[in-house]
Amino acid sequence: MNSAPHAAELKVLVTRDHIRERVAELAAQITRDYAGQSVVLVGVLKGAAIFLSDLARQIQLDTTFDFISVSSYGGGKQSSGEVRLYKDVDQSMSDKNIILVEDILDTGLTIQFLRRLFLNRAPRSLKIAALLDKKCRRTAPVDGDYVGFVIPDEFVVGYGLDYNERYRNLPDVCILPPGQI
Ligand code: IMP
C-alpha cells in the first residue's frame, strides 16, 4: 500500500499562474536572443515534458524539438551520482542552436553530463533552460541560461516532476514533505 500523500494535501510552492507568467517571460527572452534563427529544444524525459510543451508554444521562432532520456534518481529521492544515457535524440545536432530543457537543476550532474555530450556534437550554440533551480544543492559547476525559479532545498513534485512516477500531472509545483513518503 502506497502511503504517499494525496495531491490535495501537498503545499503549493509555485502556483500554475506564476509558472504560466514565467514560462511566457522565458519564451520571450529566447525569442529575442535567437531572433532570425531557428532553435532545437531538447527535453530531458520525463520531467521536462510539460515545461517543454508550454515553452515551445510561446516561442516565436522556427522551433523543433527532440527528447533525451537519462537516469536520474532511479525512483527515489537520492541521486545515484551516476548519469546514464537511456535514449538519445533522433536528429543531428551539428550546427544547430540547441537548448537543453530540464525540469530542475539539483546537483547539476545530469546537465553537466548532457552539456559535455552535446558539446561533442558540434552545435552552433548550446544553452540550458530549467524551470526550477535548487542552487544551494549544486556540486557540478553548471548554471542555467534560462531559469524559471530558484527554489529552496525541498523535494518538489508536479508540472512534470515526480516521486516514484506520481504527481507529474499536478498543475502547480508542490512540496513533498520529508517523512510522509
Ligand atoms: P541533478 O543531476 O542532481 O541536477 O538532478 C537532476 C534530476 O533529478 C532532475 O531532472 C529530476 O529528475 C531529479 N530531481 C532533482 N530534484 C528533484 C525534486 O525536487 N523533485 C523531483 N525530481 C528531482
DSSP-assigned letters across all residues of 33-98: HTTTSEEEEEEEETTTHHHHHHHHHH--SEEEEEEEEE--STTSSS--S---EEE--SS--TT-EE
Catalytic-role residue among 54, 103, 106, 162 = 106
Task: Indicate the domain borders of the chain.
Answer: 16-154
Q: Which fold has domain 16-154?
A: Rossmann fold (3.40.50)
- Report the nearest-CA residue for atom 19 of ligand 1: 155
Q: What is the pTM of this model?
A: 0.94
The number of the ligand 1 atom at minimal distance from the alpha carbon of 83 is 2
Dist CA 43 CA 87 (whole Å)? 11
The number of the ligand 1 atom at minimal distance from the alpha carbon of 108 is 4
The number of the ligand 1 atom at minimal distance from the alpha carbon of 79 is 3
Q: How much is the pLDDT for 88?
A: 96
Give the distance (Å) from ligand 1 centre to CA of residue 93: 25
Catalytic (active site) residue 95? no
Q: How much is the pLDDT for 66?
A: 97
Q: How much is the pLDDT for 71?
A: 84
What is the tally of helices (H) and strands (E) in the chain?
Answer: 3, 9
Q: What is the pLDDT along the chain (181 residues), one digit of tens a residue?
A: 456 788 888 999 999 999 999 999 999 999 999 999 999 999 999 999 999 999 999 999 999 999 999 986 555 555 666 889 999 999 999 999 999 999 999 999 999 999 999 999 999 999 999 999 999 999 999 999 999 999 999 999 999 999 999 999 999 999 999 876 6
Give the distance (Å) from ligand 1 centre to CA of residue 92: 27
Residues with beta carbon inside 6 Å of ligand 1?
A: 44, 47, 72-73, 79, 102-110, 155-157, 161
Dist CA 8 CA 119 (whole Å)? 42
Q: List the grid coordinates of 44.
A: 530531458
Q: What is the dihedral of CA 83, 85, 91, 96, to 10 degrees?
A: 10
